Amino acid sequence: MTGWKWDMGATRRVGRVFTRRPPGPGAPLDLVGSGKLDGALVDWAYYRDGRRDTGTASYVDALTRARHGDGFVWIGLFEPNERQLAVLGSEFGLHQLALEDATEAHQRPKLERYGETLFAVLKTVRYVPHGDLTATSEVVETGEVMVFCGPGFVITVRHGDHGELTGLRQQLEKVPKRLAAGPGGVLHAIADHVVDSYLAVAAAVQADIDLIEVDMFSPRGWRNIDRVYQLKREVLELKRAVAPLTGPMRALSTQEHPLIGDETRNYFRDVDDHLLRVKEQVVSFDELLSSILQAGLAQVQVSENDDMRRISAWVAILAVPTMIAGVYGMNFDNMPETTWKYGYYGVLVLMLTACTVLYLLFKRNRWL
């Protein structure tokens, strides 16, 4: 029987050991100059003492200095293919399992440790602006950011058209103190950026829920059930992005790691606090929409009962003149009032009186 065991030192499979392959000896590959990352490379930079070092001669020189503990290299990729990630894996000694996860999108948010390297998967979310919410409106769009964080390097792999990190990189470069924290500081900045986007999306979704709640409890509000169901599906999409991330954030804020200093761990605690707040919001959204949906279904039943009562009341009212007309339409010779001069008018008055009395009774009982 085999199983997976995770510890703080390595990732092992019972009966077989996976180890992080150290970078090979000799000069590093010139990934930038060789064109091996063409089409996937967004940006790369060498940071030393918290600042982008533009005086470094080449990528090879930057990586050599980073491997000797002098700064770090940050490579940003957008939807790289399997071959490009394999080249990076060979260069930086990345674990094959992590490379497979980075190649395929739609991964669950998680944090894994392979030797000294951390591999984090974070779901990015974006609120999709829309006019009127319909049964097919897309409210929340998701993507992914995967981060390889190791001694002397950070590699970010982005899937999805949103969640760009270019702006984040520029913001960090304006605050050298944060970049001076090394790869762990970059990981914190990315996590903080992603969780802040959760807060913004949650606020926008809250506004949609408030509107649909008002519409739902308006007259004939049950007609909005399909809109409520669609919004509930979008909230579940947001929930799948937020909820699984609480474990990794708690680990980064509490467990020691060579890449995560004490000060950076304090910052991770703040991110964890924000994430818990968003998680509570999203859970409450789900519960509220479930309650609204149940209320809508109850409205449908009440509306159907009201319609049936109205139909039954009118049937009862119309049954009286129908019965009287049926009796006097049998045309027997010896029927009373058939030869009465005012019989026709008397029967009409009787019908009108009986129908009026029944109408008033049903009206008083709120059947009409």
Phi, psi torsion values for 113, nearest 5 degrees: -120, 125
Residues 261 and 324 in one domain: no
Can you state the angle between helices 183-216 and 262-328, rounded to 10 degrees?
20
Residue-wise pLDDT for 4-26, tens only, equals 333 333 333 333 333 333 444 34
Residues 195 and 262 in one domain: yes
Residue 168 pLDDT > 80, yes or no? yes
Residues 170 and 223 in one domain: yes
Lowest model confidence (mean pLDDT) among 19-23, 146-150, 195-199, 246-250:
19-23
Residues 348 and 288 in one domain: no
β-strand 153-159 against 72-78: which pairing, if any? parallel
Residue 2 pLDDT > 60, yes or no? no
Lowest model confidence (mean pLDDT) among 15-29, 184-198, 230-244:
15-29
Query: How many domains would you assign to the chain?
Result: 2
CATH of the domain at 352: 1.20.58.340
Q: What pLDDT band is residue 155 in, cutting at 50, 70 and 90?
A: very high
- Given this model, what pLDDT does residue 11 score? 34
Which range, 125-134, 163-172, 199-208, is most confident? 199-208
Residues 245 and 118 in one domain: yes
- Given this model, what pLDDT does residue 19 score? 36
Residue 265 pLDDT > 70, yes or no? yes
Residues 235 and 349 in one domain: no
In the 8-state DSSP scheme, what is residue 204?
H
Residues 313 and 187 in one domain: no
pTM for the predicted model, two decimal places: 0.75
Residue 59 pLDDT > 90, yes or no? no
| % the chain with pLDDT above 70 | 91
CATH of the domain at 134: 3.30.460.20
- Given this model, what pLDDT does residue 163 score? 65
Residues 70 and 219 in one domain: yes
Residues 97 and 185 in one domain: yes
β-strand 140-150 against 153-159: which pairing, if any? antiparallel
> In sequence order, what are the beta bridge partners of 154?
74, 149
Which residue range(s) make up the domain with 324? 302-364
Q: In the listed set 299, 329, 349, which residue is the last one of a domain according to the structure?
A: 299
- Given this model, what pLDDT does residue 27 score? 56
Tokens of 14: 């019972």
Average pLDDT for the chain: 83
Which range, 127-131, 282-286, 334-338, is most confident? 282-286
Average pLDDT over residues 314-320: 87
Distance CA 292, CA 235 (A): 14
- Given this model, what pLDDT does residue 202 score? 93
Distance CA 236, CA 230 (A): 10
Residues 358 and 295 in one domain: no
Average pLDDT over residues 289-315: 81
Q: In the listed set 280, 299, 318, which residue is the last one of a domain according to the structure?
A: 299
Distance CA 322, CA 350 (A): 12
